[in-house]
């Protein structure tokens, strides 16, 4: 026998004077209250209320907007006992890194020289300290190929987008979940002006996760850098120096699950020596260039250096492997040739 549910007008609380009033657009029976003439469908499920603010990650209760900033919002738990404060990034508002400004060729079309000659020249430039004139001399001596030093200079700059596309194909093959990611910045000169070069490096694989070249040294640049690498893996901790610009970006983008270690002294158990060592290696290559001529050429050259550092250059500290190989990249000789990792 069907249960008869007593009706009640939600407006005037009438319980006995009703008319059936057809059905609504979803097929539920409607009733008309004969006292206040209010129409309602008692069998229709009420819509779930969705809050525009996220739930508290600690207790799961509702939250309210405490402060709203340009790149993140600060929310606080509505429960006074919990009172947890957490940050949520505005991903679409965060600027992109300088890698998005790479310019040049994405293929070898309309290049008169063989690919292996170009790759040999690039390897000599980015893996060593050879000048363009020395590389031209080596190519003439070893391969009997006459190439202008100006042409070699153009090769080192113009193929950055090509190698960036290769990197985008290879990075999904890597496992970059690590104990620590180290973040730091160093100074380079472009046309005589000071620019800041920001790096993120993985402690276990020595893989350079990303970089950002900017004339500014502030929280905005830290947001751009960390936002570009946040989807590459999940570290247990992010190690930085005491510079305050890192504090909010790390907390906003990685949350409370990733520990932020701020190194106070070189005597600490955990230091930033790893990335400082990389800076020393980068500066050894950079100092032979005596600065960069323009932002565009600097951005392209730095990207090419990072690519060869990650995928081509073997490291003695990694038992002769590249950082990409330590991160799990295993390619056959044919695949290495396809991805231009060998000449």
67: tokens are 């402060």
* Whole-number pLDDT of residue 5: 57
Look at 86-90, 213-217, 271-275 and tell me which has the smallest mean pLDDT: 271-275
1-47 belongs to CATH 2.20.25: yes
* pLDDT tens digits, one per residue of 13-50: 888 888 888 888 888 999 999 889 899 888 888 777 67
18 forms bridges with which residues in the sheet? 33
Evaluate the CA torsion angle 117, 305, 172, 324 in order and state its sign. positive
Work out the percent of the chain whose per-residue pLDDT is above 70.
Answer: 97
Beta carbons of 318 and 201 less than 8 angstroms apart:
no
* pLDDT tens digits, one per residue of 281-309: 999 999 887 779 999 999 999 999 999 99
Is a pLDDT exceeding 50 seen at residue 102? yes
Task: With CA atoms as reference, report the closest residue to 215 among 306, 284, 298, 273.
Answer: 298
Mean pLDDT, residues 49-64 taken together: 87
Is a pLDDT exceeding 90 seen at residue 166? yes
Beta carbons of 238 and 261 less than 8 angstroms apart:
yes
Is a pLDDT exceeding 80 seen at residue 95? yes
Question: pLDDT class for 150, splitting at 50, 70, 90?
Answer: very high
Q: Domain ranges in the chain?
A: 1-47, 49-93
* Whole-number pLDDT of residue 288: 82
* Whole-number pLDDT of residue 270: 77
- How many angstroms separate the Cα of 307 from the Cα of each of 129, 166, 239, 262, 301? 16, 9, 23, 28, 10
* Whole-number pLDDT of residue 212: 97
| Whole-angstrom distance, CA of residue 53 vs CA of residue 48 | 15
Is a pLDDT exceeding 70 seen at residue 4? no
The 3-state secondary structure of the chain, one letter per residue: CCCCCCCCCCCCCCCCCEEEEEECCCCCEEEEECCCCCEECCCCCCCCCCCCCCCCCCCCCCEEEEEECCCEEEEEECCCCCCCEEEEECHHHCCCCHHHHCCCCCCCCCCCCCHHHHHHHHHHHHHCCCCHHHHHHHHHHHHCCCCCHHHHHHHHHHCHHHHHHHHHHHHHHCCCCCCEEEEEEEEEEECCEEEEEEEEEECCCCCEEEEEEECCCCHHHHHHHHHHHCCCCCCCEEEECCCHHHHHHHHHHHCCCCEEEECCCCCCCCCCHHHHHHHHHHHHHHHHHCCECCHHHHHHHHHHHHHHHHHCCCEHHHCCECHHHHCCCCCCHHHHHHCCCCC
Question: pLDDT class for 1, splitting at 50, 70, 90?
Answer: very low
Q: How many residues are there in the chain?
A: 343
Beta carbons of 174 and 207 less than 8 angstroms apart:
yes
The predicted model scores a pTM of 0.83
Question: pLDDT class for 2, splitting at 50, 70, 90?
Answer: very low
| Whole-angstrom distance, CA of residue 239 vs CA of residue 261 | 5
């Amino acid at each position: 026998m069907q249960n008869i549910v007593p009706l009640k007008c939600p407006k005037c609380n009438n319980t006995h004077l009703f008319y059936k009033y057809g059905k609504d657009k979803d097929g539920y029976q409607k009733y008309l209250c004969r006292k206040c003439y209010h129409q309602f469908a008692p069998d229709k499920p009420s819509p779930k209320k969705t809050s525009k603010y996220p739930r508290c990650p600690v207790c799961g209760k509702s939250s309210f907007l405490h402060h709203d900033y340009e790149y993140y919002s600060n929310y606080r738990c509505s429960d006074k006992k919990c009172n947890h404060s957490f940050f949520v990034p505005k991903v679409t508002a965060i600027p992109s890194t300088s890698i998005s400004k790479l310019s040049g060729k994405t293929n070898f079309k309309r290049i008169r020289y063989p690919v292996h000659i170009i790759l040999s020249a690039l390897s000599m430039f980015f893996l060593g300290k050879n000048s363009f004139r020395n590389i031209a001399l080596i190519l003439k001596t070893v391969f009997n190929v006459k190439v202008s030093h100006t042409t070699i200079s153009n090769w080192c700059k113009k193929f950055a987008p090509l190698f960036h596309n290769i990197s985008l194909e290879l990075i999904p093959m890597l496992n970059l979940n690590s104990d620590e990611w180290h973040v730091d910045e160093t100074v380079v000169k472009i046309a005589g002006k000071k620019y800041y070069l920001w790096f993120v490096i993985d402690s276990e694989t020595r893989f350079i996760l990303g970089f950002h070249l900017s004339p500014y040294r502030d929280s905005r640049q830290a947001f751009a850098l960390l936002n570009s690498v946040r989807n590459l893996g999940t570290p247990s901790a992010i190690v930085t120096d005491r510079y305050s610009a890192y504090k909010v970006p790390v907390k906003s983008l990685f949350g409370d699950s990733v520990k932020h270690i701020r190194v106070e002294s070189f005597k600490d158990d955990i230091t930033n020596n790893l990335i400082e060592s990389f800076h020393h290696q980068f500066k050894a290559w950079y100092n032979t260039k005596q600065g960069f001529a323009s932002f565009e050429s600097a951005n392209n050259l730095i990207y090419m250096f990072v690519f060869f550092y990650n995928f081509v250059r073997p490291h003695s500290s990694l038992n002769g492997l590249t950082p990409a190989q330590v991160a799990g990249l295993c390619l056959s000789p044919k695949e290495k040739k396809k991805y231009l990792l060998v000449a």
